[in-house]
């Protein structure tokens, strides 16, 4: 189960911040984030530079990403630096416990503030005039339909609009 949760952590960090990522490969930025968030880097025995060096060592010559197997090799490399007093296997086990089951931490994410004037200005129920029509009863914006008059181009020639209304206009 530990290897499964280790792989799960790898996938979560691999897709972090990249909408096109599949979770099969991890770039250097996300590797560094994983090491920082999971407290693999401690600032003494393992630094950010060590993390970058290990990443460069395990990836292919021309590659810019690492796969899960290379990821495990990189953890083994860092395990020996991080836990010097333990054997190779024990150190790898300890570093896996640091990483397993973790996911990216969102630090510095801006929270919306609703205090005083901001709350009053963003309350859509108090809007008047044309602004009022841009929102539904719940206060959610209607999008384009609430903003502009949408032209009906349903005619079969450019000057003829409103298909199906010809008979109503021309009385027989």
Once rounded to an integer, what is the mean pLDDT over residues 34-52? 88
pLDDT of residue 49: 92
- Confidence label for 54 from pLDDT (cuts 50, 70 and 90): very high
Q: Which domain holds residue 16?
A: 2-99
158, part of any domain: no
Token pair belonging to 73: 């090799």
Would you say residue 85 lies in a domain? yes
| 76 inside domain | yes
**pLDDT over 80 (residue 114):** no
3-state secondary structure of 141: strand
Q: Which CATH number is 41's domain given?
A: 1.10.238.10
| Count of domains observed in the chain | 2
How far, in Å, CA of 32 to CA of 2, rounded? 21
Residue 163 lies in a domain: no
Given a cut of 60, whether residue 1 has pLDDT beyond it is: no
Same domain, 19 and 93: yes
3-state secondary structure 45-101: CCCHHHHHHHHHHHCCCCCCEECHHHHHHHHHHHHHHHCCCCCHHHHHHHHHHHHCC
Residue 127 pLDDT: 77
Residues 91 and 134 occupy one common structural domain: no
Whether residues 7 and 92 share a domain: the answer is yes
Q: With respect to residue 169, please indicate whether it lies within any of the assigned structural domains.
A: no
124 and 95 share one domain: no
The burial of 159, by beta-carbon neighbours within 10 Å (0-12 exposed, 13-18 middle, 19 or more buried), is given as exposed
Average pLDDT over residues 34-58: 89
The predicted pLDDT at position 157 comes to 67
Q: Is residue 64 part of a domain?
A: yes
Q: What is the pLDDT of residue 161?
A: 64
- Measured CA to CA, the distance from residue 36 to residue 104 in angstroms comes to 10
Under the banding of pLDDT at 50, 70 and 90, the label for residue 57 is: very high
| pLDDT at position 146 | 61
Mean pLDDT over 90-103 rounds to 84
Q: Which residue has the higher pLDDT, 87 or 114?
A: 87
Give the residue carrying structure tokens 């539904």. Answer: 136
In a shared domain, residues 24 and 54: yes
Per-residue pLDDT tens digits for 136-162: 777 777 776 666 666 666 666 666 666
């Amino acid at each position: 189960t530990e290897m499964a949760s280790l792989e799960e952590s790898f996938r979560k960090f691999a897709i972090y911040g990249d909408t096109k990522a599949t979770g099969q490969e991890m770039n250097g930025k996300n590797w560094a984030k994983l090491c920082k968030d999971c407290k693999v880097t401690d600032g003494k025995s393992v630094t950010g530079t060590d993390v970058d060096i290990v990443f460069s060592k395990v990836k292919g010559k021309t590659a810019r990403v690492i796969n899960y197997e290379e990821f495990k090799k990189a953890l083994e490399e860092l395990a020996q630096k991080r836990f010097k007093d333990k054997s190779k296997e024990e150190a790898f086990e300890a570093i896996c416990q640091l990483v397993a089951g973790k996911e990216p931490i969102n630090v510095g994410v801006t929270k919306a503030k609703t205090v005083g004037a901001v709350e009053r200005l963003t309350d859509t129920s108090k809007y008047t005039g044309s602004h009022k029509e841009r929102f539904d009863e719940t206060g959610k914006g209607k999008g384009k339909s609430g903003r502009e008059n949408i032209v009906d181009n349903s005619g079969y020639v450019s000057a003829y609009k409103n298909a199906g209304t010809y008979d109503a206009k021309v009385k027989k």
